[in-house]
Amino acid sequence: MSVLALVPAAGDGVRLGAGIPKALVRLGGVPLVVRAVRGLLDSGAVDHVLIAVRDGDVGEMRDLFADTAAVGVAVGGADRTSSVGAALRCGLREWPGTEIVLVHDAARALTPPALVASLVAAVAGGMDAVVPVLPVADTIKEVDAAGAVERTVDRSRLRAVQTPQAFRRPVLERAYAAGLVDAATDDAGLVERLGVKVHTVPGDPLAFKVTTRWDLELAEHLVGS
């Protein structure tokens, strides 16, 4: 089956505070987005990749991937959802035979190729939508506006959701066509609103998102730089 991965990489990286877009921040000398795309292609399960970047970064991104025709670049949007929407439109125009679409944060630079392959296999095996999840280690509480605890949530049924998230192509297309795109914090959230069942597979701690300085330091230790 023909598999396209969309990589939103158009964020500013405000919380990391590197002064450049987070996707271009180097980890062991290699930009986060290059590591993330390598992980996708090294899985052997992804045929094409479409990266959404800030307007001013298109040239630099094209240069980073100049040696592979499997990778395209599009201009993203003001929030992650519009970046994914732009990547989806551009990617399907470029590779119209696509049957499975993955969405994967550029910031999850150390995601193991085996995790990517497991998500593609789940959709190829018949599921409409699949996300990688991890159990939640900390106790979770709901608090009011003043920070006082209102209740403790039952942790046993909670999961932290990672990317890549994998979808049968028409399912993601419908989700992005439905006009509900402001109302979810991840792509599976849009699909859930269509009433489509979203399945889970075990995630991997290495698929963590580089969000803060602390995350980048952890990633540097992990790659030995």
d(CA 9, CA 107): 8
- What residue ranges in 14-138 does DSSP mark as E strands? 26-27, 30-31, 48-53, 71-75, 100-103, 129-135
For position 63 contacting ligand CTP by CB under 6 A, the verdict is no
User: CA-CA distance, 164 to 5, in Å (whole number)?
Assistant: 8
Report the distance separating Cα 170 and Cα 174, nearest Å.
6
Q: Name which position in 47, 57, 105, 186 contacts ligand CTP (CB under 6 A).
A: 105
String marking each residue 17-56 x if it binds ligand CTP according to CB under 6 A: -----xx----------------------------x----
Selected binder of ligand CTP within 3, 4, 5, 9 (CB under 6 A): 9
Rule CB under 6 A: say whether 83 interacts with ligand CTP: yes
Span interacting with Mg ion, options 8-16, 35-43, 84-92, 207-215, rule CB under 5 A: 8-16
How many residues touch ligand CTP (CB under 6 A)? Answer: 22
Residues 35 and 49: their CA atoms lie apart, in Å, by: 13
Half-sphere exposure of 188 (CA within 13 A, CB side): 20
| Phi-psi domain of 196 (left: phi exceeds 0; alpha: psi -120 through 50; beta: other) | beta
Pattern of binders to ligand CTP over 193-212, x per CB under 6 A? ----------------x-x-
Which part of the chain contacts ligand CTP (CB under 6 A), choosing from 60-68, 99-107, 174-182, 187-195?
99-107
Footprint of ligand CTP (CB under 6 A): 8-15, 22-23, 52, 76-80, 83, 105-107, 209, 211
